[in-house]
Amino acid sequence: MVQSNPHMIDRFGRVHDYLRISLTERCNLRCFYCMPEEGIQLRDKAEFMSNEELLEIAKTFVLMGVKKIRLTGGEPLIKKGIDLLLRELGKLPVELAITTNAILVDKYLDDLMAAGIRNVNVSLDSLVEEKFNKISRRDYFKRIKSNIHLLLENNFNVKVNVVLIKGLNDNEVIDFIEWSRNENIHIRFIEFMPFDGNNWNDDKKVSYKEVMEKVHHHYGLDNVYKLIDSKNDTSKNFQIRGGSGTFGVISSMTNPFCSSCNRIRLTADGKLKNCLFSQTETDLLSALRNGEGLEKYIQESILSKEKERGGYSQFDNESVNLMKNRTMVSIGG
């Protein structure tokens, strides 16, 4: 395949070399900030990428300059044929990573290692079992914690993603940081973001400023070290004096990182989203099935990317009600 422009560069000079691929919209949890309580409408499997189509699209992105692929969902490990898909994706010349709820990690540990995956992000929004069950609407806390330690024992680099909700789990910030202080684990606090069906409200958001006020009040300024973030980091990263791991805050709402964004997303039904908050999508799956080249569609999508947060200048209760986007579970975490 001949490429005239191997890099995906938008109007603002941002090079996009990081692709997040959602393998499925289905999940074995029902976290309220990700999936509506009633669930999402199940669709015919023909509307989604087959494993072969997913691989073909992924290869096109690699030829266009993608250097990192992260697999997401739903829950990626419930994807049919995930063991073989992991091993095939592992053959691509990219860094391969995964975001999972870790419920099935013990079953697929060998496949993760065979695919060369070393970086695993695990979603865990509370260290209190009863509270976790309330958030996830399921009872897998002990299994998830066990599988996180299984990953650590096998030398995976583990990040734990914590979506903070005011009045629900924001009183656990220090507990999570203590975990990172005592074990080589990396905590990432994520501001609550609005998506269809998750009842977002500005009053529920815990900002970067609020998190750091809690941290400095507990540890003192001299015991909290700011780490050097890489160019495309989404989080502002820190370490407690003498700690084994790190913690960070992903402040998409109050302190966006859009100026250095290098990410694009491919949904499970083969749509390209150039921003998490974008209301527009590019249908790559239909183009592939029609025998068309994908490069022009990909480049058009990249060039149409807004400067910041899908073109939204503000997020308040009124403007969010007017937003038209997917549920988080159908975009991909």
Percentage of residues of the chain with pLDDT beyond 90: 71
Class assignment of domain 18-331?
alpha beta
In degrees, to the nearest 5, what angle opens at C-alpha 273 toward C-alphas 332 and 45? 55
Q: Which residue has the higher pLDDT, 229 or 2?
A: 229
pLDDT at 218 over 80: yes
pLDDT band, very low/low/confident/very high, at 313 (cuts 50, 70, 90): low
pLDDT digits (tens, 9 = 90+) for 258-277: 888 999 999 999 999 998 88
pLDDT of residue 145: 98
pLDDT digits (tens, 9 = 90+) for 13-58: 999 999 999 999 988 888 877 776 666 677 888 999 999 999 999 9
Helix segments in the chain, DSSP class H: 51-63, 82-89, 105-114, 129-136, 141-153, 173-182, 208-219, 284-289, 295-303, 317-322, 328-331
What strand order describes the sheet that includes 68-72? 224-226, 236-240, 246-250, 186-191, 157-164, 119-123, 95-100, 68-72, 18-22, 263-266, 271-273, 282-283
pLDDT digits (tens, 9 = 90+) for 133-182: 999 989 999 999 999 999 999 999 999 999 999 999 999 999 999 999 99
pLDDT of residue 31: 81
pLDDT of residue 99: 97
